[in-house]
Amino acid sequence: MNITGKTKILGILGYPVNHTISPPMHNAVIKMLGLDIVYLPFEVKPSNLQHAVNGIRGLGILGINITIPHKETVVKFLDKISEEVKLIGAVNTIVNKDGCLIGHNTDGYGYITSLKEELNFSAKGKKIVILGAGGAARGILTALAVKKPEAIIVANRTIARAVSVVKIFKEKFPNIKFEAVYIDEDMLKAYFQYADLIVNTTSVGMKKKGILKTPLEALPKTAIVSDIIYNPLETPLLERAKKLGLITHGGLGMLIHQGAKSFKLWTGIDAPTKVMRKAALKAVKSGGGK
């Protein structure tokens, strides 16, 4: 790659940021399209986030992805946010439009597109349990809610956070039954036995660290167990679900499709998702994102 003073910069802010495989995924697309752009990872401590955001303007960076733990905090440092972000309260994509920083969230789009593409799943009339109540959970919750499921249960270790999320979404989607519960095996059994879809949005299981204790045995055999973690491709949760004969869905597709939408917001160009998938798979299998 020939980098000059005219080369535009894209990137990702996170702390830590060494888990991400977004750089090889986006740079593969940039190379294939012959664009004078480079995508870089930036490790930014929470205390330096505002300085980093101001740097996007100062350095003329074209656009940035936002990952943990900055998705919610970054909102207050932006000039504008999309209607979706107003509901979700979290940003994963920043577009720099002539110095005006606009926040978007493509997580929900990426998730629902992946679920439809891989399993032809429709959320309409379904009962769904979401594990976690952070920025990624709210993005996914929004994308699922617009498809008119019957019920969405938000389970979180901090019950107050789940209650807060449910309150917001009850007002926005009054025809859907929402409930907030604590992540507890015994408590979840009552909800799992009727569930069509379980979604893990927590970081438990990333790089196979930690095991999310859930009563998967209580699920109907037709239920889908979904995990948005993409490293490893098959998390301990998915391994366990597969042994029980349940349908599983990993997080790589979400990463690819949210990335493709971010790329379109930055450049106006449709990203070839096949190229993204090939590069992402290669990065994960070669130990990228460690």
For the segment 41-61, what is each residue's pLDDT rounded down to a tens digit?
999 999 999 999 999 999 999
pLDDT tens profile 196-233: 999 999 987 676 777 788 999 999 999 999 999 998 99
Tell which residue, 5, 94, 111, 88, has the closest CA to residue 54.
94
**Per the residue annotation, which of 6, 31, 71, 177 is the catalytic one?**
71
Active site (annotated) includes residue 86: no
Q: 246 with 171, same domain?
A: yes
Q: What is the pLDDT of residue 203?
A: 86
- Is 175 inside any structural domain? yes
Query: What's at 102, amino acid-wise?
Result: I
Q: 99 with 189, same domain?
A: no
- Is 1 inside any structural domain? no
User: What CATH number corresponds to the domain at position 211?
Assistant: 3.40.50.720
Q: 72 with 121, same domain?
A: no
CA distances from 189 to 157, 211, 241 (A): 16, 17, 15
Q: 24 with 124, same domain?
A: no
Q: 94 with 176, same domain?
A: no
Q: Please state the pTM of the whole predicted model.
A: 0.93
- Is 290 inside any structural domain? no
- Is 227 inside any structural domain? yes
Domain region containing 267: 8-105+253-285
Domain count, the chain: 2
Q: 72 with 134, same domain?
A: no
Q: 246 with 264, same domain?
A: no
